[in-house]
């Protein structure tokens, strides 16, 4: 279980931060607040962002 939690931490959180930074739908302030939330509450912040953050259109 601990290994799964560590792997999730190493994969989901950087992805959420990267996705936040490259999002064109968010202002600089919104990006800052999302990244701050992801860093303060890593699991919750990343999961909330991935489900309710800005949606990207599939090509």
Q: Are 38 and 16 in contact (CB under 8 A)?
A: yes
Q: Which of 47, 25, 45, 23 is nearest to 34 (CA)?
A: 45
Output the pLDDT for position 33.
Answer: 93
**Exposed, middle or buried by CB within 10 Å (0-12, 13-18, 19+), for 31?**
middle
Is this prediction's pTM over 0.75? no
Q: Are 16 and 48 in contact (CB under 8 A)?
A: no
Output the pLDDT for position 56.
Answer: 54
* Per-residue model confidence as pLDDT tens digits over 17-59: 998 999 888 899 999 999 999 889 887 888 888 788 766 544 3
- What residues contact 25, with CB distance under 8 A and at least 6 apart? 54
Mean pLDDT of the 3-25 span:
86
Q: Is the pLDDT of residue 8 over 80?
A: no
Output the pLDDT for position 58.
Answer: 41
């Amino acid at each position: 279980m601990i290994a799964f939690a560590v792997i999730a931490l190493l994969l989901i959180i950087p992805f959420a931060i990267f996705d936040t930074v490259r999002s064109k739908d968010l202002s600089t302030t919104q990006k800052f607040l999302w990244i701050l939330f992801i860093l303060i509450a890593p699991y919750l912040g990343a999961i909330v962002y991935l489900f309710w953050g800005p949606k990207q259109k599939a090509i």
